[in-house]
Structure 1
Amino acid sequence: MLKQLFTLTPLIFAIAACSDNNGDTTADSSSSTQADTSEHSINYQLVDGAESRFDIYTDYELTSDLSHLSADQKQMIGLLIDASKIMDELFWQQAFPRDRQEFLAALPSQAVNFGNINYGPWDRLDGNKPFVQEFSEKPAGANFYPADMSKQEFERFDNADKTSLYTLLRRDNNGQLITVNYSDAYQQQLTEAADILRQAADLAESQSFANYLRLRADAFLSNEYQPSDLAWMDMTDNDIDVVIGPIENYEDQLFGYKTAFESYVLIKDKAWSERLAKYAQFLPELQRGLPVEDKYKAEIPGSNAQLNAYDAIYYAGHSNAGSKTIAINLPNDEQVQLEKGTRRLQLKNAMRAKFDKILRPIAEELIVPEQRDNITFDAFFANTMFHEVAHGLGIKNTINDKGTVRSALKEHASALEEGKADILGLYMITQLFEKQQINRGELEDYYTTFMASIFRSVRFGASSAHGKANMIRFNYFANQGAFTRNAEGQYAISMGRMRQAMNSLSEQILTLQGDGDYQAVNELVARLGVVNEQLQADLDRLSDKGIPVDVDFIQGKKVLGL
Structure 2
Amino acid sequence: MKTITKASLFIAGCSIITAIASCTSPAGNTKTTQKKTSAEDSLKKYVDARLDIYTKVKLTSNLNNLTVNERKILPLLIQAAKIMDDLFWKQAYPQRDSLLNTIKDEKTKSFVLINYGPWDRLNGDKPFVTGVGPKPDASSFYPAGMTKADLEKSDVKDKHGLYSVIRKDSTGKLSSIPYHVLFAAELQQASNLLKQAAILAEDAGFKKYLNLRADALVTDNYTASDYAWLDMKTNSLDIIIGPIENYEDKLFNARASYESYVLIKDKVWSKRLAKYVSMLPELQRGLPVAEKYKKEKPGTDSELNAYDVVYYAGDCNAGSKTIAVNLPNDEVIQQKKGTRRSQLKNAMKSKFDKILIPIANELIDKEQLQYINFDAFFANVMFHEVAHGLGIKKTITGKGFVKEALQEQYSWLEEGKADVLGLYMVTGLLKKGALSGDIKQFYTTYMAGILRSVRFGAASAHGKANMQCFNFFKENGAFIRSANGTYKVDYVKFEAAMNKLSQVIITLQGNGDKAAVAQTQKEMAIISPELQSDLDRLTKKGIPVDILFEQGFDVLGVK
For the criterion TM > 0.5, the same-fold answer is yes
Which amino acid is 1:141 matched to?
A: A
Q: Which residue of 2 aligns with 1:106?
A: 102
- Structure 1 residues 16-35: aligned runs within 5 Å: none
Secondary structure of 1:222's partner? Answer: coil
Q: Which residue of 1 aligns with 2:494?
A: 498
Match of 1:293 among 290, 293, 296: 290
| Superposition deviation, residue 41 in structure 1 | 7.6
1:279 aligns with 2:276: yes
Q: Which residue of 2 aligns with 1:447?
A: 443
Secondary structure of 2:456's partner? Answer: coil
| Superposition deviation, residue 168 in structure 1 | 0.5
Contact 1:9-1:147 within 8 A present in 2 as well: no
Contact 2:47-2:107 within 8 A present in 1 as well: no
- What do the CA deviations read for 1:219-278 (whole angstroms, capped 9, x no partner)? 111111111111111111100000000001111111100110000000000000000000
Q: Which residue of 1 aligns with 2:184?
A: 187
Root-mean-square deviation (CA), in Å? Answer: 1.8
1:267 aligns with 2:278: no
Secondary structure of 1:247's partner? Answer: strand
Contact 1:306-1:344 within 8 A present in 2 as well: yes
- Structure 1 residues 499-518: aligned runs within 5 Å: 499-518=495-514
Secondary structure of 1:164's partner? Answer: coil
In structure 2, stretches of 5+ residues that fail to align are 11-18, 25-36
Q: Normalising by structure 2, what TM-score? A: 0.93
Contact 2:152-2:159 within 8 A present in 1 as well: no
Contact 1:8-1:147 within 8 A present in 2 as well: no
User: What percentage of residue pairs aligned between the two structures are identical?
Assistant: 54
- Hey, what's the Cα distance between the residues in 1 that align with 2:501 and 2:324? 23
- Hey, what's the Cα distance between the residues in 2 that align with 1:74 and 1:49? 42
- Structure 1 residues 511-526: aligned runs within 5 Å: 511-526=507-522
Which amino acid is 1:408 matched to?
A: A
Q: Which residue of 1 aligns with 2:530?
A: 534
Contact 1:45-1:134 within 8 A present in 2 as well: no
Q: Which residue of 1 aligns with 2:30?
A: none
- Hey, what's the Cα distance between the residues in 1 that align with 2:387 and 2:301? 14
Which amino acid is 2:318 matched to?
A: A
Match of 1:137 among 134, 137, 143: 134
- What do the CA deviations read for 1:501-537 (whole angstroms, capped 9, x no partner)? 1001101100111110101101000000110100000
- Hey, what's the Cα distance between the residues in 1 that align with 2:101 and 2:356? 35
Which amino acid is 2:255 matched to?
A: K
Secondary structure of 2:55's partner? Answer: strand
- Hey, what's the Cα distance between the residues in 1 that align with 2:496 and 2:22? 60
Q: Which residue of 1 aligns with 2:373?
A: 376
Which amino acid is 1:157 matched to?
A: S
Which amino acid is 2:430 matched to?
A: F
Judged with a 3 Å threshold, the aligned counterparts in structure 2 of structure 1 residues 40 and 167 are, in CA distance, closer, same or farther, namely farther
Q: Which residue of 2 aligns with 1:20?
A: none
Which amino acid is 1:60 matched to?
A: V
- Hey, what's the Cα distance between the residues in 1 that align with 2:237 and 2:479? 42
Match of 2:479 among 474, 477, 483: 483
In structure 1, stretches of 5+ residues that fail to align are 11-36
Match of 1:70 among 40, 61, 67: 67
Judged with a 3 Å threshold, the aligned counterparts in structure 2 of structure 1 residues 421 and 5 are, in CA distance, closer, same or farther, namely closer
- What do the CA deviations read for 1:166-215 (whole angstroms, capped 9, x no partner)? 11011123121111100111111001111111011111111111111111
Q: Normalising by structure 1, what TM-score? A: 0.92
| Superposition deviation, residue 54 in structure 1 | 1.3
Q: Which residue of 1 aligns with 2:6?
A: 6
- Hey, what's the Cα distance between the residues in 1 that align with 2:172 and 2:48? 40
| Superposition deviation, residue 141 in structure 1 | 1.9
1:356 aligns with 2:353: yes
- What do the CA deviations read for 1:375-411 (whole angstroms, capped 9, x no partner)? 1000000000000000000111111211111110011
Secondary structure of 1:487's partner? Answer: coil
Which amino acid is 2:303 matched to?
A: Q
Q: Which moved more, 1:398-407 or 1:265-274?
A: 398-407
- Hey, what's the Cα distance between the residues in 2 that align with 1:542 and 1:105? 34
Secondary structure of 2:305's partner? Answer: strand
- Hey, what's the Cα distance between the residues in 2 that align with 1:67 and 1:527? 52
Match of 1:219 among 216, 219, 230: 216
- Structure 1 residues 114-513: aligned runs within 5 Å: 114-439=111-436, 441-513=437-509
Contact 2:5-2:144 within 8 A present in 1 as well: no
| Superposition deviation, residue 9 in structure 1 | 6.0
Q: Which residue of 2 aligns with 1:19?
A: none
- Hey, what's the Cα distance between the residues in 2 that align with 1:41 and 1:291? 63
- Hey, what's the Cα distance between the residues in 2 that align with 1:481 and 1:455? 16
Q: Which moved more, 1:200-209 or 1:382-391?
A: 200-209
| Superposition deviation, residue 38 in structure 1 | 9.4
Secondary structure of 2:507's partner? Answer: helix
Number of positions where the alignment pairs a residue of Structure 1 with one of Structure 2: 531
Which amino acid is 1:487 matched to?
A: A
| Superposition deviation, residue 52 in structure 1 | 1.1
Match of 1:550 among 525, 546, 549: 546
Contact 1:302-1:337 within 8 A present in 2 as well: yes
- Hey, what's the Cα distance between the residues in 1 that align with 2:46 and 2:547? 21
| Superposition deviation, residue 374 in structure 1 | 0.8
Secondary structure of 1:361's partner? Answer: helix
Q: Which residue of 1 aligns with 2:83?
A: 86
